[in-house]
Structure 1
Amino acid sequence: MAARAVLIAAVSSGQGKTTVTAALARKLVQQGQRVRVFKCGPDFIDPMLLARASGAPVETLDLWMVGRERCHRLLAQAAQEADAILIEGVMGLYDGTPSAADLAREFCVPVLTVIDAGAMAQTAGALVHGLRDYGPVDLAGVIANRVGSAGHAAMVQASLRGIPLFGTLPKQGRSLPERHLGLVLPDEVEGIDALLDELAAQLDFDAAAWEALAPVTFEPPAPEAPLAPALAGKTIAIARDESFLFVYTANKLLLQGLGARLVYFSPLADEPVPADADAVYLPGGYPELHCERLSGAGAWRASIRAAHAAGKPIVAECGGMMALADALADGADHDWPMAGLLPGKVTVQKRLAGLGPQAMPTAQGTLRGHTFHYSRLDTDAPVATYTNKNPSGAQGEAVYRVGSLTASYFHGYFPSNPVAVAAMFLGEAA
């Protein structure tokens, strides 16, 4: 199982990794290649854009949260189906434990580094050589972002001292818009496909250098142990709309693999929890952007309270939990009534309140995941447990249990512990 593969990394966030990865994915697709893109580290928004650019689902790779075995399985499967594999890194190349560099070395994937050349010329070489040698990593080459002219590109290339310059991307008149949790969602950007096509056209890419890359071989993985159908016969209702959309594809596939039937409903459209649902999953998202609609969604609010009163298991992550508080303060001095299953108020703030990989202890073992939010919940709801931060082990997010409700700012990566996930949706969590 082999395919051309690169991990696209940079010295830090903000260098243009996502823009370059999206542009390269779209360019290769336009050339008739089958492209699979992965995102290194926890993320919900970048994969949506990269899926739009490549035309294929984007999964997460992370040696700690996802685990080496599953990462290997995902890459080997992609190599069977694709001509090219692009892995967008997270933060800087060596940031995090484990880092994007650790992932690249683990699977012998060469690194294609993105540099923001907008305010440098010959110093680009020093930066790139440092990135290569610090680890070290197998450096395939460089893509220089925000290049001002052909002369500027030539100076950058000369500074690299033999490291290939795979391509350049000029300064953008129109960039991908952002908000507090990252990029604006692709469906919210007018003309997103035209913008991706424009980025691909502007990417001056050395096709010969790409073709000269040796394919990376991924050994066939060991057979996967079958999942016990612990949720067979159960129907899980998942909230899905602009307010509830931060959910790993792997989570939904895991629930189906456990035997559950998945149905979807929209709280924003005031759709009630489906009557035949045995359990409810409220993923994260942007409830703070839709306070008025959620507050006015009487059928939704009544239905989730009825589901709770009936003892149906409810799992609420981050934004899903925010929508279940008594009130949500939108950051503009307005409190909006929410569903009222959790006492207290959520307040949106400008200061980051939680970020990073964490693990939730359960009676069935550890469930791994992450947290990322700019709000706080002030509540006297009982705390069942706390997550642990990785790698420090310090106390992380509170996990609240009120009746059949399990709620936290923590986003679980379900394949990391299928048995614990099944217990949550069966109401057996302890």
Structure 2
Amino acid sequence: MPTQTAPRSCPALFLTAPASHQGKTTLTAGLARHHRNLGRSVHVFKTGPDFLDPFILERASGNPVYSLDLWMTGEAECRRRLYDAAASADLILIEGSMGLFDGTPSSADLAAVFNVPVLPIIDVSGMAQTFAAVAHGLATFRPGLPFHGVVANGVASARHAEMLLEMLPPSLPCAGAVMRDPAMALPERHLGLVQAQEIDDLESRIATAAARIAETGLAELPPPVAFAPAAAVAVPRLLAGVRIAVARDLAFSFLYPANLELLSALGAEVAYFSPLADEPLPAADAVYLPGGYPELHLEALGAHGATRATLRAHVAAGKPLFAECGGMLYLLDALTERTGTTGPMLGLLPGHATLHNRLAALGLQSVELGGETLRGHAFHYSSVQTPLAPYTHARRANGAAPGEAIYRHGSILASYLHCYFPSSPSATAALFKP
């Protein structure tokens, strides 16, 4: 079969904002659902590391949501993901992270590399003509950045909409004035949005957002964008015959779809279990405890015995166990949440963790293991006190300060670092190889 060399064109938009908490995820979900309601295939991507927004966007679009980040996932994988999506999508949406120019690399950097038109969403609560100044600043700060227009979100009335638009220059169209509606707002907690599977009326909220979108210029498809060809990279089957047990429930849900797909591509068989339901560990050669919210389930996790007993037997047998962030907290002797309530954890890693009211770490980091580099990120509100000396430290993508500590304790490797497995298939295989 001849190699595909022609670009693929697909309508695409990059939804961004001047800051967090402007309504990006709500409107991206609403836009995806609106076009899905019209029978279109919508593929949504999320910029940067994020485990919460993608599952809401997946519910809205009906398709898996993958991460795009020029540093963590790499430009080549971003190109391949977009090129593959353009083969079947009627619309590609990319939701940015934080503000348009925040971070290195930023959402603006990603939009510029792939020439995807930018559409800033601005929360106009308490704002009138200044909306035009903010929109103008975003549009002109970086010359050459493709712009589709701007969206006013949280509009109070028709008169409010008039005031917002009266000083907007003709060169910067308003693609939509979305009226304020609490029925479409998404609830939040300390790490971001509440998980999709915890929002009982999520479908209603997405439907309401879609209805609001239908009243605006966003109801029409944007112009097509040409995505350059990109070939998939062959993955060696380094984990053929290895069975990996992955914790997955409301307490342990911070899983990149790309991570799970890579484990399968490496040849591993993946089996899931729920510590929250006290399920025993399935027969496995290795265990993966991802991050999540163990602090929200102290009583349940502390009372259960089947999961604890089988995980302890797994470690006692010297089988690999890799734990990230919340998964690492679950391995400790105890965990104290912000109200001061302490719950016993597994006792497989000596130490105690405490949840704080302020952010303890945020940023892109990488770790070198066996001569290979795994990239990822850290984002947590807790701190760990342990007598263990770090096995090594991660490195920050920006800045010289040391990154997260990596702990090795018997067959356990644990850290606050959330790793993006496709950044190094060989390093990933080494994590789980018996």
Q: Give the TM-score normalised by structure 1.
A: 0.96
Q: How does 1:230-269 map to 2 (within 5 A)?
A: 230-269=238-277
User: CA separation in 2, counterparts of 1:34 and 1:402?
Assistant: 47
Query: Counterpart in 1 of 2:108?
Result: 101
Which residue does the alignment assign to 2:4? Answer: none
1:381 matched to 2:388? The reply is yes
Shift of residue 194, structure 1, vs aligned partner:
1.2
Which among 350, 358, 362 is matched to residue 343 of structure 1? 350
The C-alpha deviation readout for 1:71-99, integer Å capped at 9, x for no partner, is 00000111111111110001110000000
State the Cα distance separating 1:337 from its structure 2 match: 1.2
Partner of 1:173: 182
Work out whether 1:300 is the aligned partner of 2:273: no
Give secondary structure in 2 for the equivalent of 1:323: helix
Does 2:301 correspond to 1:290?
Answer: no
> CA offsets, 1:357-394, max 9 Å, x none?
11112123211000111111100123111111111142
Supply the distance in 1 between the matched residues of 2:304 and 2:88 (Cα, whole angstroms). 44
Q: CA deviation at 1:224?
A: 2.5
- In 2, the alpha carbon distance for the partners of 1:328 and 1:120 equals 43
Q: Secondary structure at the match of 1:383?
A: coil
Q: State whether structure 2 residue 162 is matched by structure 1 residue 151.
A: no
1:185 correspondence with 2:195? yes
Q: How does 1:154-233 map to 2 (within 5 A)?
A: 154-162=162-170, 163-174=172-183, 175-203=185-213, 204-206=215-217, 210-211=220-221, 213-221=222-230, 223-233=231-241
Shift of 1:151: 2.1
**Which ranges of structure 1 fall in alignment gaps of 5 or more residues?**
none
Q: Which amino acid aligns with 1:374?
A: Y
Q: Does 1:331 align with 2:341?
A: no
Partner amino acid for 2:53?
D
- Tell which deviates more after alignment, 404-413 or 181-190: 181-190
Quick one: distance in 1 between partners of 2:132 and 2:265? 48
Partner of 1:121: 128
Residue number in structure 2 paired with 1:58: 65
Amino acid at match of 1:354: A
Distance in structure 2 (CA, Å) of the matches to 1:348 and 1:124: 38
Structure 1 CA distance for aligned equivalents of residues 291 and 269 of structure 2: 20
Shift of 1:207: 5.3
How far the C-alpha of 1:349 sits from its partner, in A, is 1.1
Give the conservation status (yes or no) of the 8 Å contact 1:382–1:402.
no
| Counterpart AA for 1:365 | E
Q: Give the 3-state SS of the residue equivalent to 1:342 in structure 2.
A: coil
The aligned counterpart of 2:379 is 372
Q: CA offsets per residue over residues 115-151 of structure 1, 9 Å max, x none? A: 1112112211111111011113211011110101122
Give the SS at the match of 1:399.
Answer: strand
CA distance in 2, matches of 1:118, 1:330: 33
Q: Distance in 2 between matches of 1:81 and 1:38?
A: 15
The farther-off stretch of 155-164 and 131-140 is 155-164
Identity in percent: 52
CA distance in 2, matches of 1:381, 1:82: 49
* Contact 2:176/2:218 (8 A) holds in 1: no
Q: Secondary structure of 2:387's partner?
A: coil
Find the residue that maps to 1:343 and give its secondary structure: coil
Matching residue within 86, 90, 107 for 1:83? 90
CA distance in 2: counterparts of 1:123 and 1:105, whole angstroms = 26
* Structure 2 CA distance for aligned equivalents of residues 361 and 385 of structure 1: 9
Which contiguous aligned blocks of 4+ residues in structure 1 show a shift greater than 6 angstroms?
Answer: none
Structure 1 position 31 matched with structure 2 position 38: yes
Is contact 1:364–1:419 with CA below 8 Å preserved after alignment?
no
Q: Which letter maps to 1:386?
A: H
Q: 1:45 to 1:252 in 2, by over 3 A?
A: same
Secondary structure of residue in 1 paired with 2:84:
helix
Q: Quick check: 1:111–1:138 contact (8 Å CA) kept in 2?
A: yes
Name the SS of the counterpart of 1:78 in structure 2.
helix
Q: Are the equivalent residues in 1 in contact too, given 2:31–2:218 (CA < 8 A)?
A: no
Letter of the structure 1 residue corresponding to residue 256 of structure 2: Y
Q: SS at 2:362's partner residue?
A: strand
Q: How far does residue 227 in structure 1 lie from its aligned partner after superposition? A: 1.2
Q: 2:281 aligns with which of 267, 273, 280?
A: 273
Deviation at residue 214 of structure 1 after TM alignment: 2.5
Q: Give the total of aligned pairs.
A: 423
- Listed as ranges, the matches of 1:13-28 within 5 Å are 13-28=20-35
TM-score (norm 2): 0.95
Instruction: Give me the whole-angstrom Cα distance separating, in 2, the residues matched to 1:22 and 1:236.
Output: 33
Structure 2: gaps (5+ residues): 1-7
Q: Give the deviation of 1:348 after TM superposition.
A: 1.1
3-state DSSP of counterpart to 2:87: helix
Match of 2:3 in 1: none
Q: Is the 8 A contact 1:7 1:88 kept in 2?
A: yes
User: CA RMSD of the aligned region, Å?
Assistant: 1.2
Partner secondary structure for residue 350 of structure 2: strand
